[in-house]
């Protein structure tokens, strides 16, 4: 993918703007929307964007900031999953703490929001406190967010414990949306104001990008990414009225702005400096775009990827029909087709050939992978390995100039693994996953120079595109993610089994 974004320019611009904003206050609370680390969506739609750009911005300001992490007690109770990592929100809090510490960032505390004695949340609080993490519990505020008088009172924000902070910038982040970041920021503004401290609020959210057009594919890709949340991009009417300048925001921020403005004004006792939701933001990502056409094409491809993702989630029962229809409308709005993703048709055509050769109607899963030079290879499922494993093996053999009919993994290695899975571990699916095959290959590489040569090419698959004609197992999706292959799947299961299919 052609580079369209200047990461270094963005880092410089973003850090400078945050410092300018904090100079207006004794303390600035910044609500971080989206992903603080591993922002793979931004990386895909902004070729050249570093997936950890936000954390690097914070690292450059590490002496001036500390971090508060919010998580909603109800999300802990129902074991809500972060889709890209396949881990629960409470586990993601632990992961986030470790990752932030690795960047030398000061973790102030974890806030359990809307806490009402939920047993799972209580256990998580105990786990954190026994590991030396400070925890605050915020209860739900009756009438939030409409009843401003009740909210901005000793019975509202005043009932929340005050989070002791010492640095001029306080970043408030969370595993996902609906975690209570905004309420935590405003609660702190209330307490700081009571203590005579001039505190401010800002929001750092990458998308939608306020200074690119409303219907730009980059902003449309954000709608596709949040289709389950029903977010809709809109012109910020408040910003236009105040400055006669067009900017883009999304419906939830625009709808809640009047109430949010009233809350801030009631807390501070003076007119808000913010005239619009756009004013509240500190995001400068639009200033890092250096090739608009490259961004547009990357965004179109992301929309197609999102279509396949939602289609699979609908098949699994994770999203409703309305959500699937909404992503289809977005695809149609830009006149995009599934086949505009280059790896789709080679996978489907190869699968159709295999199905015809077999003479039955059973699925013949195939994965197609596009290599850096544009070559598209395929791999099919077999009794020995899954299609995902087969295509990766075919790809690294190709890159290492090893003949296709040359076996890299000795039967002496494969057979004991298959036997272990079937007989000792009782697995009904003995075909090896992508990770299992790569582990087997690494064992062979110790004594086989060709296996070693092939394995050395694995890093060349970073950023490659793939498509499967059947829904991949979670383990294969995770392996592709770690190798950094963007993979999509047709919404079809590989077998008719209900439990043993994945």
Question: Using one digit for the tens of pLDDT, what is the confidence trace for 145-201?
Answer: 889 999 999 999 999 999 999 999 999 999 988 899 999 999 999 999 999 999 999
**435 within some domain:** yes
Residue 475: closest CA among 445, 441, 432, 444: 432
**306 within some domain:** no
Q: 393: domain range?
A: 342-489
At 145 the pLDDT is 82
The total number of structural domains that make up the chain: 1
At 501 the pLDDT is 55
Give all strands (DSSP E) within 181-271, no chain letters.
199-204, 233-235, 248-250
CATH of residue 450: 3.40.140.40
Q: d(Cα 266, Cα 402) in Å, to the nearest integer?
A: 71
pTM of the model: 0.90
At 429 the pLDDT is 78
At 222 the pLDDT is 95
Give all strands (DSSP E) within 114-163, no chain letters.
135-137
**18 within some domain:** no
At 238 the pLDDT is 96
**499 within some domain:** no
At 81 the pLDDT is 81
Residue 54: closest CA among 43, 63, 45, 44: 43
Q: d(Cα 170, Cα 113) in Å, to the nearest integer?
A: 17
**259 within some domain:** no
Q: What are phi and psi of 267, to 5 degrees?
A: -65, -45
Ranges of the chain with pLDDT below 70: 83-84, 359-362, 499-502
Q: d(Cα 400, Cα 452) in Å, to the nearest integer?
A: 10
Q: d(Cα 391, Cα 381) in Å, to the nearest integer?
A: 9
Are 425 and 455 a contacting pair, CB within 8 Å?
no
**475 within some domain:** yes
Q: What are phi and psi of 399, to 5 degrees?
A: -70, -25
Question: 95: exposed, middle or buried (C-beta count within 10 Å: 0-12, 13-18, 19+)?
Answer: middle
Chain centre distance of CA 59:
20
- Using omega within 30 degrees of 0 as the cis cutoff, is the peptide bond preceding 208 cis? yes
Q: How far apart, in Å, are the Cα atoms of 310 and each of 109, 135, 327, 331? A: 35, 36, 7, 12
**155 within some domain:** no
At 495 the pLDDT is 81
At 500 the pLDDT is 54
pLDDT in tens, 202-235: 999 899 999 999 999 999 999 999 998 888 999 9
**495 within some domain:** no
């Amino acid at each position: 993918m052609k580079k369209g974004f200047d990461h270094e320019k963005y880092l410089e611009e973003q850090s400078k703007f945050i410092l300018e904003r904090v100079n207006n206050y004794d303390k600035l609370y910044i609500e971080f929307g989206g992903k603080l680390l591993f922002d793979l969506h931004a990386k895909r739609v902004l070729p050249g964007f570093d997936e950890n750009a936000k954390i690097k911005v914070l690292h450059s300001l590490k002496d001036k900031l500390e971090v508060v992490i919010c998580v909603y007690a109800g999300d802990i109770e129902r074991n809500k999953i972060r889709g890209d990592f396949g881990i629960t929100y409470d586990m993601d809090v632990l992961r986030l703490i470790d990752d932030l510490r690795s960047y030398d960032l000061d973790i102030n505390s974890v806030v359990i929001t809307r806490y009402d004695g939920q047993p799972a949340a209580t256990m998580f609080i105990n786990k954190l406190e026994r590991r030396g993490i400070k925890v605050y519990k915020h209860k739900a505020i009756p009438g939030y967010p409409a009843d401003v008088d009740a909210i901005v009172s000793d019975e509202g924000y005043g009932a929340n414990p005050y989070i002791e902070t010492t640095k001029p910038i306080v970043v408030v982040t969370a595993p996902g949306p609906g975690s209570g970041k905004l309420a935590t920021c405003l609660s702190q503004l209330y307490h700081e104001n009571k203590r005579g401290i001039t505190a401010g609020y800002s929001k750092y959210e990458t998308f939608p990008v306020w200074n690119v057009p409303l219907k730009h594919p980059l902003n449309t890709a954000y709608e596709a990414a949040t289709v389950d949340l029903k977010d809709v991009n809109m012109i910020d009417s408040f910003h236009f009225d105040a400055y006669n300048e067009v900017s883009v925001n999304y419906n939830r921020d625009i709808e809640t702005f009047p109430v949010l403005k009233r809350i801030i004004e009631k807390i501070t006792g003076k007119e808000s400096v913010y005239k619009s939701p756009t004013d509240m933001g500190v995001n400068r990502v639009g200033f890092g775009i250096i090739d608009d056409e490259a961004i547009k094409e990357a965004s179109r491809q992301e929309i197609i990827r999102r279509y396949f993702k939602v289609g699979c989630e609908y098949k699994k029962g994770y999203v409703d029909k309305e959500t699937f229809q909404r992503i289809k409308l977005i695809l149609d709005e830009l006149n995009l087709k599934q086949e505009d993703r280059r790896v789709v048709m080679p996978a489907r055509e190869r699968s159709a050939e295999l199905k015809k050769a077999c003479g039955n109607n059973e699925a013949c899963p195939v994965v197609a992978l596009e290599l850096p030079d544009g070559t598209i290879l395929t791999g099919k499922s077999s009794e020995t390995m899954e299609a995902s494993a087969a295509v990766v093996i075919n790809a690294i053999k190709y890159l290492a100039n090893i003949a296709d009919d040359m076996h890299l993994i000795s039967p002496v290695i494969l057979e004991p693994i298959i036997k272990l899975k079937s007989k000792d571990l009782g697995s009904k699916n003995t075909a090896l996953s992508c990770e299992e095959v790569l582990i087997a290959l690494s064992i062979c590489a110790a004594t086989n120079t060709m296996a070693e040569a092939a394995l050395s090419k694995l890093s060349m698959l970073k950023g490659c595109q793939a498509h499967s004609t059947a829904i991949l197992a979670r383990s294969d999706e995770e392996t592709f993610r770690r190798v950094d292959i963007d993979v999509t799947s047709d919404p079809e299961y590989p077998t008719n089994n209900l439990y043993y299919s994945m």
